Structure 1
Amino acid sequence: MNFSPLRDFVRIQSDNTPHVEDLPYELVERKGLGHPDTMCDAIAERASRYYCLYCLEHFDRVAHHWFDKVMIFGGEADFDYGRGELTSPYTVLFAGKAALRCGSEEIPLTDILRRAAEDVLTEVTTGFVPERHLRVENRVVDHQGPGRGVSRYRPRDRNDMVALGDSGLTSNDCNLLHGFAPLSRLERAVLDIEQWITGDEFKATNPDTGWDVKVFGSRREDRFTLIVNMPFIAADIKSFEHYRQRAAECHHAMVDRLETFLGMTPDVLLNAADRGVRPYLTALGSVADTGDVGAVGRGNRVNGLITPMRAMSIEAPAGKNPLDHTGKLYNVMAHRLATEVSELAGQPVELHIFTSKEAPLNQPEEVVVRIHGWDGDAHTEARVRDLVTGALESTDDLTRSLIRSGVTMW
């Protein structure tokens, strides 16, 4: 795939609109590890990775697929102070398309999908036992249109699959993706506090806390307010008084963390429903214990946040084929490039990528780079252009990285 300098699709512009930090009001949200929507994103992405790895191991190529239509139907739980048990399992529904076999050799898709669901749910809940707590429904098909010969979903042999680094790959769809950098103070605070609450250090000293953490952040001028929803594991909480004690201890730890992080004291409200006498308890640490439903694409964007004050793509990258689904590749690339350009220019950056179906992966229709307060100097423009074209020429490296570690939005 050779880059043609004749078609100049990269636009580098100065952005003179107010930066988000200069706005009088800002809102940010993050859905945590145990939120049903985040679970679905993680399961879909894990399924794609496992499917790619299976294909590479057995065929040295990757079959076409997309698993970005995962849903979780929550179970039912019996819990009270000092006890908690899941009495009806979670159901994970996979819908999408994929090759089910290569020639006569079957690909064990249901096993791959189940392992993805088991691994994720075991990691983001407390006491999850797949054999008792999980049911998987596989609705993935390999259907093709009438009159078609070889389908991407029905390879006759490994040669009908796609090799990593294939120079003939093109965009599978029309997509519009966005990225920005750096994160604002509020965005960093919301991201940090959720990752800390669901991280190893906090969980080691607070094992009675759940995983379905949701953080809302607001900034009015320089006043920061964070609302944190965090469940507790019912079996570890002896009474309402014990619950209030543990919530107060966790609240104090969060304030200390945020004071260190922000250099100021924010207003923090933990578990708003506690304004009455309603404790936030769960059996395994998620509202999926009590029938809540999750779906891919309804939660965090690629940078781990929901940022309504920023340019934000509605593409759901989790579970998409990492070889040519530009809704995934360019989604990740836009944020990474925005960070690199921001570090280079020393200014906030907003970056947009637009591509059409069948466009070569290294030549989308447009890449627009907006640098806040940029003076238009030729040296910076040349270096930014090199960064953009270099990233587009290296999509195969990004694909390999995504297969190894996936898209992280949690």
Structure 2
Amino acid sequence: MSNIVIENLNTQPLQEQKLEIVERKGLGHPDYICDSLMDRVSVNLCSEYLKKLGYILHHNTDKGMLVSGKVEGELGGGEIVDPMLLVFGDRATFEADGIEFDIENIVTSTAKEWFSENLRFVDPSQIQYQIELKSGSSELTDIFRRKKKNEVLGANDTSAAVGFAPSTFTEWIVHETEKHLNSSTFKKEYPESGEDVKVMGVRNNNDIHLTVAMPLIDSYIKSEDEYFKRKNEIINEIDEFVSKYAETENNLPSTSISFNTLDEPGKGLNGIYTTVTGTSAEDADCGQVGRGNRVNGIIPLNRPSSAEAAAGKNPVSHVGKIYNALSHRIAYRIYNEIPDVSEAYVWLLSDIGKPIDAPRMATTQISMEAGTLDSVKTEVHEVINSELENIQQFCMELAKGKIPLY
């Protein structure tokens, strides 16, 4: 590919900069629910299209929204008053070559399956489902008919994406703290902890502070005193987890933790963070695709980011999904495989209708620990070209849900 630009990254690597802010929205956060669930719908649609036709048809399920309901919380166990509403929006192919696809059943069964697998205290039958998927426009759906055997599809949008490597320790510990709090091991030890975990990390020089929000399930909490007792136990456990991983760093960072900082003793339910179902979507916060984590699982405020929401987009023509994920893969290959690269950013730009393996521009910005940029240009070209040459395989990994996007 000729239109590859390689240039020096003329800034300090992020890990060496003074200030860094990173966020992760966890499993039960309304935005995470929308991203994860709508992408599962896309994966299941791909499976159905492949099963019945042998190829993937036009669809994008990236306009989902979770509308919060209403509960009456109570120490010892509250109840749901109004259910959550899950709205599925955008496009799908309902019929092709005389074969009809039961889109409504695929969508609702996927949603119920997702809730059953991921949120212990949410009953899928108590959620309302509103399906607003429509057929795609004639020109965009024609992209799928233009494909010749063994050819990649044309891009269905003019869009840009950016990926980077490596992750900083702050990015990594924010990500891993949420994963730990939603692990089966942690939930077994602290079954009263809900899945709606949010972690905000800030690094000031070598001092890292994490602010964690996670509700406690009100059916486990009999009094305000019990809430604060369990809260303190969880704070100590989080601090132990974070401190253990900080010790693995060569330049040992100082770490501190805050947990459920809105709490105020003496106010009863008004001063403690409890939920009936483990998610704030029950009555406090709506969710929407694209407002959650970037494709590498975090919201890194110091990094450039892609404007597209990857979750739910089709994995064979929508570069808003493909290039988002691929740019990170290329950046990590450059960092891991090419000596003396300390940080890499990869930018990919598409032209609507042009083959996805031929972006208009592929730009790499590199910071070197030693040596010169000229000494690695050939290897960078080889990495980019090899990934673009194998983009069909990459797209099938996306189609099968093998590449995490949130």
Taking structure 1 as the reference length, what is the TM-score of the superposition? 0.91
Partners of 1:338 and 1:194 lie apart in 2 by 24
Cα separation, 1, equivalents of 2:122 and 2:301 = 34
Counterparts of 2:191 and 2:166, CA distance in 1: 33
The correspondence for 1:352, drawn from 347, 353, 360, is 347
Q: 2:359 aligns with which of 364, 378, 386?
A: 364
2:13/2:342 contact within 8 Å kept:
no
The SS at the match of 1:274 is coil
1:135 to 114, 128, 140: 128
- Superposed CA deviations along residues 242-271 of structure 1, whole A, max 9, x for unmatched, are 111111111101000110111244120000
Q: Does 1:28 align with 2:22?
A: yes
Q: Distance in 1 between matches of 2:47 and 2:377?
A: 39
Instruction: Give the partner amino acid of 1:42.
Output: S
Structure 1 counterpart of 2:263: 274
1:67-78 matches, within 5 Å, as 67-78=61-72
1:392 is matched with which residue?
A: 388
How far apart are the structure 2 equivalents of 1:211 and 1:57? Answer: 34
Q: Report whether the alignment pairs 1:308 with 2:301.
A: yes
Match of 1:405 in 2: 401
Q: Give 4+ residue runs of structure 1 displaced > 6 Å after superposition.
A: none
Assess if the C-alpha contact under 8 Å between 1:31 and 1:214 holds in 2.
yes
Instruction: Call closer, same or farther: CA 1:342–1:301 in 2, change over 3 Å.
Output: same
Helix, strand or coil at the partner of 1:228: strand
What is the TM-score normalised by the length of structure 2? 0.92
Paired residue secondary structure (2:72)? strand
Per-residue CA distance 1:80-131 (angstroms, 9 max, x = gap): 1111332322211111111111244321101111122112222332222222
The partner residue of 1:98 within 92, 95, 115 is: 92
Give the CA deviation at 1:291: 4.7
Q: Which amino acid aligns with 2:74?
A: D
CA shift at 1:40, angstroms? 0.5
Give the corresponding residue for 2:183.
199
* Pairwise CA distance, 1:166: 4.0
For the residue of structure 2 that corresponds to 1:317, the secondary structure is coil
2:80 aligned with 1:86, yes or no? Answer: yes
Q: Which amino acid aligns with 1:327?
A: G
Within the candidate set 237, 242, 249, 1:258 is matched to 242
1:335 matched to 2:331: no
Change over 3 Å in CA distance of 1:144–1:11 after alignment to 2: closer
| Contact map agreement 2:10 2:367 (CA 8 A) in 1 | yes
In the other structure, the counterpart of 2:193 is 209
Asked if structure 2 preserves the Cα contact closer than 8 Å seen for 1:46 and 1:406, the reply is no
Query: In 1, distance between residues paired with 2:158 and 2:113?
Result: 33
The AA in structure 1 aligned to 2:165 is: A
In structure 1, how many angstroms separate the alpha carbons of the residues matched to 2:238 and 2:90? 40
Secondary structure, counterpart of 1:272 in structure 2: coil
For the 8 Å contact 1:63–1:161, the answer to whether it is kept is: no
Would the alpha carbon gap of residues 161 and 174 (structure 1) be closer, same or farther in structure 2, given more than 3 Å must change?
closer
What per-residue deviation string (whole Å, max 9, x for no partner) do you get for residues 157-206 of structure 1? xx95979x840411111111011111111111101100110112211211
Residue 250 of structure 2: aligned partner? none
Shift of 1:32: 0.7
1:78 & 1:104 partners in 2: Cα distance?
Answer: 49
**Separation in structure 1 between the aligned mates of residue 304 and residue 181 of structure 2, nearest angstrom:** 27
The runs of 5 or more residues in structure 1 that have no matched partner are: none
Change (3 A) 1:220 1:10: same
Q: Does 1:58 align with 2:52?
A: yes
Alignment check: 8 A CA contact 1:186 1:219 kept: yes
Confirm or deny: 8 A CA contact 1:13 1:376 kept in the other structure. no
CA 1:161/1:364 → structure 2, altered by over 3 Å: closer, same or farther? closer
Q: Are the counterparts in 2 of residues 98 and 142 from structure 1 also a CA contact under 8 Å?
A: yes
Paired with 1:123 and 1:62, the residues of 2 have a C-alpha distance of 26
SS of the equivalent of 2:321 reads: helix
Gaps of at least 5 residues in structure 2 are 248-252
Letter paired with 1:273: L
Give the aligned CA root-mean-square deviation in angstroms.
2.0
Give the SS at the match of 2:73: strand
- Tell me if 1:229 matches 2:213: yes
